[in-house]
Amino acid sequence: MTTSQTSDLQSADLVAKANDRLPLILEDIERVITKETPSHDKEAVAAGAADFVELLRERLGATAEVITVDDTAHVRLRFGSGPARVVLLNHQDTVWPHGTLDRIPFSTDDGILRGPGSFDMLTGAIMSIHASAILREHLGEGGLDGLSILVSGDEEIGSISSSDLIRAEAAEAKAVYVMEASAGGALKLERKGTSNYVLVFTGKASHAGLEPEKGINAGMALALHLPLVADLADTEAGTSVVPTVISAGTTSNTVPAEARVDIDVRARTAAELDRVDAAIRELATRPQLEGSSIEVLGGINRPPFEREQSAVLFERATALAAELGLPAPEGVSVGGASDGNFTAGDGIATLDGLGAVGDGAHAEHEHAVIDEIAPRTALLAALIADQLQG
């Protein structure tokens, strides 16, 4: 990149340029929200991926590729021939089932943007495209060399098929920016790691009225195990171990032969995730009901995103916000995980929460504040340029 290009970029009013693009940004957000891409519908996710490829072509004049892993479509657009130096992490799948638009249609009333996925995280994904477009207009065709934009299709269900792609794409990056949304606008400097388990209890069925004594009640086996699982939590260490979905039995007059419980684990450190993992597997070797057995499914999903991986990028975000005339960003630690956990867990500098400002992730009141979209798009553009030029 030439010195004149650098000088031109530093003198540019990125906030004004982002404001000029706001009508187009809102148009693109409406476009992707009205596609409806629930994570488990692979065809819908593939259609959404194809539309993102077209959007990237229209806004950036570049051809993205669709990478399909285990029947799930992901989108990658890499500028230049070398490895990525800056990676923008997005996802276009949502938790909302088909038909949600009938209840929660796209709208922009009273300065609030609504619709399924508006906060988590379709607004952020569109912001990443337009921040890149602003830089491309300034720096020319080669000005984005080293930038990679990823749009995955299974983040809401654990990124099982996309995690290796994300980690490989960011392996040599200087910075990863995660376009997840933020309640109140604070950037996310630390996230807990996650584990997901299903414990399957097997007993023996029998008629609940005629001969219950001949059965082994898997539901009772599960119930006896629950306190032992819950006791694995450590509040002081910030580790939660929560039984969530519970099921047992087939009919009301049959002793249950099988029961299941989902367990959600969150921890600040890899050591805590490892401790809980080992403990759950050890508990499974000690059924509390004679004659029953326990199988453990699942395991550690995302490593912790520790604060040291975000510190330098947060300092740069604070400095660049001041140069743009924007308020200094706040930083928070959160319990929820994101794809940024993978890159931060690999020791790559990662900054999260750069997407929409609003509230209601996975909730009926999901929304984004329109006035925050352009300033944060400008800040993202400055952050990208900061690392590409550095």
d(CA 324, CA 310): 21
CA torsion sign for 225, 228, 231, 233 is: negative
Rounded to whole angstroms, what are the CA distances from 363 to 15, 105, 262, 287? 31, 14, 21, 37
d(CA 119, CA 102): 18
Beta bridge partners of 359: 367
18 with 374: CB under 8 angstroms? yes
Nearest to 91 by CA among 138, 48, 141, 41: 48
Residues 28, 120, 155, 372: which is the catalytic one?
155
Q: 262 exposed, middle or buried (CB, 10 Å; 0-12, 13-18, 19+)?
A: middle
Q: State the Cα angle at 9 between 318 and 25, rounded to 5°.
A: 75
Active site annotation includes 93: yes
Residues 28, 36, 93, 366: which is the catalytic one?
93
Active site annotation includes 372: no
Rounded to whole angstroms, what are the CA distances from 321 to 142, 328, 361, 364, 388? 25, 6, 26, 32, 17
CB atoms within 10 A of CB 267: 27
Angle, in degrees to the nearest 10, between helices 14-33 and 373-389: 110
Nearest to 3 by CA among 134, 144, 139, 135: 139
Position of tokens 């630690």?
333
Find all residues with CB under 8 Å of 90, minimum gap 6, and list them.
121, 124, 125, 128, 149, 150, 151, 152, 179
Phi, psi for 237 (deg, rounded to 5): -85, -5
Which residues are identified as catalytic?
A: 93, 155
